[in-house]
Amino acid sequence: MDAAPRPIPDVGGFLRKATLAARLGRIGVMVRRGGLTYLSAERLLRIRQELKRLQRDNVPGEALEFGVALGGSAIMIARHVRGQRRFLGYDVFGLIPPPGAKDPQAAHQRYAEITSGHSAGIGGQLYYGYRNDLMGEVSGRLASFGVPVDGHSVTLVQGRFEETVPATLPDQVAFAHIDCDWHDPVAHILASLLPRLSPGAAIVIDDYEDYGGCRSATDAFLAAHPEMEMMATSPNALLRRRTTPRQSAS
């Protein structure tokens, strides 16, 4: 009797994953394997590539994140800019605020799932919004990766964005990662960042293709501010501040 044919290994898929992991870097791989981020490897890679570009081009300013959650992407950002820029992470460090009137029904359904207590965490973990001391957990993780919260090089700012922003923003911003889902916080953060963005600065918006409110807030911001340019929309959106004024069509 003939033996069943053996499945052919997906060598191409293995090589693609290995190449992506190499490009992502050791810290990015570690935070994903540790279940510390919801971001895909491709989304983390976008962040890493922009941070490298900002360093190469000597774009001045600090690095910020809005929506820290378990701290995985914060760890990667803070490690990358260590010794070059300050890192500030903004979050309520608890249950996220609800969506608003400008968010579609899907966002409200998602929030109902969260508030019901039945939202699943990464890999079977307790969902981050249900944890008693999320800020303490994130602080501990940052320290374990060599970027302790010291109030200067690394700072965590707790509170709703409309309460902490723009009052606690640095004067100059080179990079911001916005991961806060709903329309109103995205719109508020973008408007608050604009006067502080250096020429060439980058904003990565995680939820542009995931939540309609985030998308509409971003689109309205871009339409109102031609000094900002959309460079990509997938897997996460990338905005840059132009280094030269946009030329009007003749």
Domain boundaries, the chain: 40-241
Distance CA 142, CA 75 (A): 6
Whole-number percent of the chain with pLDDT over 70: 91
Tell me the pLDDT tens digit for each residue of 10-48: 555 556 666 777 889 999 999 999 999 999 999 999 999
Q: No. of H helices and E strands in the chain?
A: 8, 7
Tell me the pLDDT tens digit for each residue of 88-144: 999 999 999 999 999 999 999 999 999 999 999 999 999 999 999 999 999 999 999
67 conformational bin, left if phi > 0, alpha if psi -120 to 50, beta if neither: left
- 128 near 69, Cβ under 8 Å? yes
pTM: 0.91
- 48 near 25, Cβ under 8 Å? yes
Give me the sheet containing 237-241, strands edge to edge: 154-158, 87-91, 62-66, 173-178, 197-205, 237-241, 228-232
Side-chain half-sphere of 234: how many Cα atoms within 13 Å? 2
pLDDT at 1: 47
H/E element, 203:
strand 197-205
Q: Report whether CATH 3.40.50.150 matches the domain 40-241.
A: yes
